[in-house]
């Protein structure tokens, strides 16, 4: 239609195979008879392969690495496993990864961090985010599971919180404590990568597809770095199991949280990942348990708020009998928040990842459930903002509950709390704009979760719609934050 002269010219051309065949015959490389015989043989083989493909039935052995033996498909319900670890093991690996060689000359601040970690494991108190993360890695490593982390500045951590690789200040030597836990441990590979998110994320997906006995993580320096890896996310990660019957336990760590740092450093675009979830907003999952719900889902999206819960969600990726990609909205300011601490008891045998954290604060314990006027649901960092504002106002009739796992949605917990607080207005509070964040995902699911208890129409407390993920003006940010907290509590 648009290139008539080009197509006319192309039709007049002698095909390349004919030119090549004529050249070979002219130069005496082959005879015309042998060339004809070769052509017929190749066409015959291609035709037979085409015919065979029409009735081909694939076998697992054709496409699945032998490492995957024992992993369960969604049709076989896996056991619901706890992810806690023996206290002696935690203390042993905690001490090993908090002790630096005496000949090493670390940066003073790094040395202080390692001294603080040693005190955490010795006392069993005040375990922070970075140490909880590394306890998860360490326990997996000594259990024989490969741990790999890549992304920009992941060795140090974008927010100078991780320091998994320590640089000697007197020479070019480095020391990696997590590679020196035990003589029989698995490999630990922290890899600072280039600003090529699409390529690096795909590279890590390859590791996750090959070996399920591994924890493979990719971290965006800020959550919005996932923008340039979107094709990999859309085409391969969220839909790999449905398209190609390939499970993957790949973990994506995406720093997310509104601290007034501007639109490029606030949002990991949570809404995009929730939009790619394949669960039905009108369906209350079967009562037989969370295992069926998560095995039927295409992936998991979490925004956890405690070091212990982060520890468990990472270990869950490897301990259980199937694999699903995990999307983590990682904190920034919470890395050093005074309330974001866990006790060693929360890591011990019998403990697990909590999809939902109800309000068990002393402020609410003295209030009869029927007197609670608001049930505020939220996820991530904004919980601590609401908590602080409630305390400032001296309120005792507002419950604040956290969705640690947003998808698959914790219908059962929502139903329980809607029933527990029969007169409470249900509010969803978020930091993100109304057209972003989790609001459009959670609103219909809150209705579905509540319908057998009472009719609930959740209200919204958050920023208004916006094209940019956030304002770039600190004063405007503070004003918006105050307004959303007032909407949640007043």
pLDDT of residue 289: 57
Distances (CA, A) of 56 to 43, 50, 59, 246, 343: 20, 10, 10, 19, 55
Look up residue 383 and give its two tokens.
Answer: 């919980």
Helix/strand/coil percent split, the chain, to 5 = 45, 15, 40
Distances (CA, A) of 273 to 224, 351, 435, 469, 480: 12, 28, 14, 15, 25
Per the CB < 8 A criterion, the answer to whether 344 and 393 are in contact is no
Look up residue 18 and give its two tokens.
Answer: 């004919």
Query: Beta strand pairing status for 146-151 and 188-192?
Result: parallel
Omega into 403 within 30° of 0, i.e. cis?
no
Q: Place 270 in a pLDDT band, splitting at 50, 70 and 90.
A: very high
65 pLDDT more than 70: no
Name the average pLDDT for the chain. Answer: 94
Q: For the chain, which domains are there?
A: 87-256+303-347 (3.40.50.12470), 356-489 (3.40.50.11610)
Helix ranges (H only) for 299-430 are: 307-319, 362-365, 382-393, 411-420
Per the CB < 8 A criterion, the answer to whether 444 and 282 are in contact is yes
pLDDT of residue 64: 64
Look up residue 253 and give its two tokens.
Answer: 């760590």
Measuring CA to CA, which residue among 212, 218, 184 is closest to residue 200? 218
Measuring CA to CA, which residue among 148, 133, 126 is closest to residue 97? 133
> Using CA atoms in the order 429, 435, 437, 438, what is the torsion angle rounded to 10 degrees?
70
pLDDT of residue 57: 83
Collapsing DSSP to helix, strand or coil, 483 comes out as helix
240 pLDDT more than 60: yes
pLDDT of residue 320: 93
Alpha-carbon gap, residue 473 to 488, rounded angstroms: 23
pLDDT of residue 81: 85
Per the CB < 8 A criterion, the answer to whether 401 and 357 are in contact is yes
158 pLDDT more than 80: yes
Alpha-carbon gap, residue 82 to 320, rounded angstroms: 9
Give me the residue label for tokens 């923008």: 227
220 pLDDT more than 80: yes
Measuring CA to CA, which residue among 63, 32, 23 is closest to residue 240? 63
**35 versus 74: which is more confidently predicted?**
35
Alpha-carbon gap, residue 34 to 27, rounded angstroms: 14
If you average pLDDT over residues 387-411, what whole number do you get?
97
Q: What is the DSSP letter of 370?
A: G
pLDDT of residue 60: 62
Per residue in 441-460, pLDDT (tens digit) is 999 999 999 999 999 999 99
Counting beta carbons within 10 angstroms of the beta carbon of residue 162, is it exposed (0 to 12), middle (13 to 18) or buried (19 or more)?
A: buried
Look up residue 238 and give its two tokens.
Answer: 């969220």
| DSSP labels, 121-189 | HHHT--B-HHHHHHHHHHHHHHTT-EEEEEETTTTT-TTS----SEE-SSSS-EE-GGGSS-TT---EE
Query: Beta strand pairing status for 188-192 and 326-330?
Result: unpaired
Percent over 90 (pLDDT), the chain: 86
Give me the residue label for tokens 């970690």: 117
Per residue in 357-384, pLDDT (tens digit) is 999 999 898 899 999 999 999 999 999 9
Buried b / exposed e over 96-111, threshold 16 CB at 10 Å, is bbbebeeebebeeebb
If you average pLDDT over residues 467-483, what whole number do you get?
94
Per residue in 71-100, pLDDT (tens digit) is 887 778 888 889 999 999 999 999 999 999
288 pLDDT more than 60: no
Per the CB < 8 A criterion, the answer to whether 201 and 225 are in contact is no
């Amino acid at each position: 239609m648009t290139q008539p002269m080009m197509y006319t010219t192309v039709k007049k051309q002698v095909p390349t195979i004919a030119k090549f065949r004529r050249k070979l015959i002219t130069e005496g490389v082959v005879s015309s008879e042998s060339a004809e015989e070769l052509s017929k043989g190749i066409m015959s083989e291609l035709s037979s392969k085409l015919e065979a493909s029409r009735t081909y039935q694939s076998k697992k052995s054709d496409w699945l690495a032998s490492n995957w033996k024992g992993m369960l498909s969604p049709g076989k319900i896996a056991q619901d496993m706890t992810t806690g670890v023996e206290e002696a093991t935690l203390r042993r690996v905690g001490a090993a990864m908090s002790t630096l060689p005496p000949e090493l000359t670390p940066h003073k601040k790094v040395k202080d961090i390692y001294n603080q970690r040693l005190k955490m494991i010795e006392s069993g108190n005040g375990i922070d985010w970075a140490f909880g993360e590394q306890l998860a890695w360490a326990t997996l490593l000594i259990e024989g599971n490969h741990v790999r982390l890549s992304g920009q500045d992941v060795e140090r951590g974008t927010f100078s919180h991780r320091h998994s690789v320590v640089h000697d200040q007197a020479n070019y030597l480095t020391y990696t404590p997590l590679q020196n836990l035990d003589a029989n441990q698995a490999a630990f590979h922290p890899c600072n990568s280039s600003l090529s998110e699409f390529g690096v994320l795909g590279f890590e997906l390859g590791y996750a597809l090959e070996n399920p006995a591994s924890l493979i993580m990719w971290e965006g320096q800020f959550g919005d770095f996932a923008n340039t890896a979107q094709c990999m996310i859309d085409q391969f990660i969220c839909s790999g199991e449905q398209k190609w019957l390939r499970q993957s336990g790949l973990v994506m760590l995406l720093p997310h949280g509104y601290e007034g740092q501007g639109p490029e450093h606030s949002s990991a675009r949570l809404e995009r990942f929730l939009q790619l979830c394949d669960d039905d907003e009108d369906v209350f999952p079967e009562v037989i348990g969370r295992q069926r719900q998560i095995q039927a889902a295409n992936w998991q999206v979490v925004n956890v708020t405690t070091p212990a819960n982060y520890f468990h969600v990472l270990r869950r990726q490897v301990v259980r009998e199937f694999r699903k990609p995990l999307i983590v909205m990682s904190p920034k300011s919470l890395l050093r928040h005074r309330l974001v601490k866990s006790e060693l008891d929360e890591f011990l045998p019998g403990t697990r990842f909590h999809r939902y954290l109800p309000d068990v604060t002393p402020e609410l314990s003295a209030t009869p459930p029927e007197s609670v006027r608001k049930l505020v649901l939220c996820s991530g960092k904004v919980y601590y903002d609401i908590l602080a504002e409630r305390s400032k106002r001296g309120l005792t009739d507002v419950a604040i509950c956290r969705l640690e796992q947003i998808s698959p949605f914790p219908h059962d917990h929502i139903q329980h709390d809607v029933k527990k607080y029969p007169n409470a207005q249900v509010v969803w509070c978020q930091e993100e704009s109304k057209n972003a964040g989790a609001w459009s995902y959670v609103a219909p699911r809150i209705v579905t979760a509540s319908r057998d208890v009472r009719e609930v129409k959740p209200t919204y407390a958050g920023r208004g719609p916006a094209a940019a993920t956030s304002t770039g003006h600190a004063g405007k940010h503070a004003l918006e934050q105050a307004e959303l907290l007032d909407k949640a509590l007043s």
